[in-house]
Amino acid sequence: MLSFLNRLIARIGAVFRSSDFDRELDAELSAHLKLRAEDLIRQGMQPDEAEHIARIQLGGIAQLREAHREIRGVPFVDTVLRDLRYALRQIRSRPGFSALAITILALGIGANTAIFSVVNGVVLRPLPFEHPERLVALFEANVIGDNNPYNTVAPANFFDWQKQATTFDQIAAISFTTFNLSGSSKELSTERVDGCGASANFFGTLGVAPVLGRSFSGDEDRPGGTPVAIISYGLWKRRFGGSDDALLQHVRLDGKLFSIVGVLPANFGYPSRTVQVWIPLEQHLAPVVLEAHDNHVLSSTIGRLKSGRTVEQARAEVDSIVKRL
């Protein structure tokens, strides 16, 4: 074992002193040839012949040198270093051509990376939700003014759609916000985090189940309901050490205590990966806001179409509901 280690160290050392070793071997071999030839001459051979025979008996010097290199060094590293030196010499001798080649390579690699990023996001990794083809985003359209067809939805309209629409299994909504987050005890530091008010059916609509605990119940998603919160996987790992005990704990959001009831999967990132806390929508929004048809506070409204229903059928139905209002 020790001899193996010694040999390894010697081999690695030899990589850096290759020319020294070559010189030493050459000196040794030429001494060998001379000594051998002298012996042969003493035995009565002619000098020319003696040198010739000495060479034959020693064997091929070039092969010997190569074998010597392989034994004493690290062959792979040796070859790579040699190639690298050769490459650098080539680059230096033809800078213009080299710059062009490097530029073309850089552009090629860049383009490849860009295309792969898009393909990866769009084709290889579709929405990480159940039956994503049945998910639709709902918006209000302005009938006056700028005619913006993608206006966010007012809570009262959302509730009307929820109650009356038949083309959807479920319609859910979230309202984006930020919280001052601190622990139930004083020693944990306070931080500012992105959060969301989410309707009780929000996670169910997307087809996402918490990895720990549960989503909101309908009773919790009421003004004055039990204050509960669902946290992101990242926050769970970071503040609660990924422990099951998190479900017995609280977070203080803007000074109010919420019991933790669920932890979302690590890959969940809607509407954004920065969102770390969710609370029931109707606890988040003031009752007066919930009743408004003209306060467009819902950042996203998402519907899951009943299987077999098309986006056009859903659009026609939602339009008719809005007109009835």
Partner 1 sequence: MHPRGEHAPQNKSEILQGTLDLMVLKTLEAMGPLHGYGIARRIEQISQEALRVNQGTIYLCLVRLLQKKWIKAEWGASENNRKARFYSISKAGRKQLIAETENWERVSGVIGRLLLMDGPR
Q: Using CA atoms of 247, 253, 258, 261 in order, give the dihedral in degrees to the nearest 10.
A: -40
| Residues 228, 280 contacting (CB under 8 angstroms) | yes
Q: Is 27 in the site for partner 1 (CB under 8 A)?
A: yes
Neighbour count for residue 130 (Cβ, 10 Å): 14
Work out the end-to-end distance of the chain between its first and last CA atoms, rounded to an integer number of angstroms: 87
Cα gap 301→202, rounded to integer Å? 9
Closest approach, Cβ 71 to partner 1, in A, equals: 5
Cα gap 242→235, rounded to integer Å? 9
Q: Is 106 in the site for partner 1 (CB under 8 A)?
A: no
Scanning 23-31, 184-192, 199-207, 270-278 for contacts with partner 1 by CB under 8 A, the matching segment is 23-31
CB-based burial label for 295 (10 Å; 0-12, 13-18, 19+): middle
Please identify which residue in 20, 47, 49, 64 interacts with partner 1, judged by CB under 8 A.
Answer: 64
SS (H, E, C) 125-180: CCCCCCCHHHEEECCECCCCCCCCCCECECHHHHHHHHHHCCCEEEEEEEEEEEEE
Please identify which residue in 45, 53, 61, 322 interacts with partner 1, judged by CB under 8 A.
Answer: 61
Cα gap 33→48, rounded to integer Å? 12
Q: Is 58 in the site for partner 1 (CB under 8 A)?
A: yes
Q: Is 60 in the site for partner 1 (CB under 8 A)?
A: yes
Which C-beta is closer to partner 1: that of 29 or that of 289? 29
Scanning 57-65, 75-83, 96-104, 121-129 for contacts with partner 1 by CB under 8 A, the matching segment is 57-65
Closest approach, Cβ 74 to partner 1, in A, equals: 12
Scanning 20-28, 75-83, 198-206, 262-270 for contacts with partner 1 by CB under 8 A, the matching segment is 20-28
Q: In degrees, to the nearest 5, what angle opens at C-alpha 135 toward C-alphas 130 and 136?
A: 165
Scanning 3-11, 96-104, 129-137, 250-258 for contacts with partner 1 by CB under 8 A, the matching segment is 3-11
| CA separation, residue 124 to residues 116, 128, 134 (Å) | 10, 11, 18
Q: Is 59 in the site for partner 1 (CB under 8 A)?
A: yes
**Touching partner 1, residues 252-271 (CB under 8 A):** none
Q: Is 12 in the site for partner 1 (CB under 8 A)?
A: no
Q: Is 26 in the site for partner 1 (CB under 8 A)?
A: no
Q: Is 34 in the site for partner 1 (CB under 8 A)?
A: yes
Q: Is 72 in the site for partner 1 (CB under 8 A)?
A: yes
- Chain residues binding partner 1 by CB under 8 A are 2-4, 6-7, 10-11, 24-25, 27-29, 31-32, 34-36, 38-39, 57-61, 63-64, 67-68, 71-72
